[in-house]
Amino acid sequence: MGKRKENSTNSLNESYIVESCDLTYAICKIGGRWKLLILCRLENGKLRFSELRNQITGITERMLTLQLRELEKEGLITRTVHAEVPPRVDYELTDIALELVPIWKQLSQWGAKHKNRVPKQ
């Protein structure tokens, strides 16, 4: 995501909020437009870059790369490079990410329910 300004109000705010609230911490890790979508896809096992790209509608290669990098840094996925040509790389959920599965399932159910209840707009 490019670097952030170290001392922007945003950054200061964020670090402050994060350290004082586990929930916000979690949201920071898995929030944003793509992260959960990516994790979701990996729910049933490894996938390679191109598979993710094809399965996630609307994502660009750049975004996929960026998000994968972040997820890796946060310890939510592992990245395995196979020394072949053409290159092959695959991604897999870590244990800690697997613990999120029930959560995103519930959230998904809630989403479905909410979608029906507030269809106007």
Partner DNA sequence: CCCATTACTTACAAATTTGTTTGTACCGCA
Partner DNA sequence: TGCGGTACAAACAAATTTGTAAGTAATGGG
Binds a second copy by CB under 8 A, chosen from 24, 48, 49, 72: 24
Name the one range near a second copy by CB under 8 A: 36-44, 47-55, 81-89.
Answer: 36-44
Residue 58 touches DNA, criterion: CB under 7 A: yes
Partner that binds at residue 24, options DNA, a second copy, none, CB closer than 5 to 8 Å by kind: a second copy
- For 117, the token pair is 């209840």
- C-alpha span between 91 and 4 (Å, rounded): 26
The answer to whether 55 touches 41, Cβ cutoff 8 Å, is yes
CB of residue 13 to DNA, shortest distance in Å:
4
CB of residue 42 to a second copy, shortest distance in Å:
13
Contacts of 81 (CB under 8 A, 6+ apart): 87, 88, 89
The answer to whether 56 touches 5, Cβ cutoff 8 Å, is no
- For 64, the token pair is 């996929």
Q: Which residues bind a second copy (CB under 8 A)?
A: 13-14, 16-17, 20-27, 29, 31-33, 36-37, 40, 57-58, 73-75, 96, 99-100, 102-104, 106-115, 117-118, 121
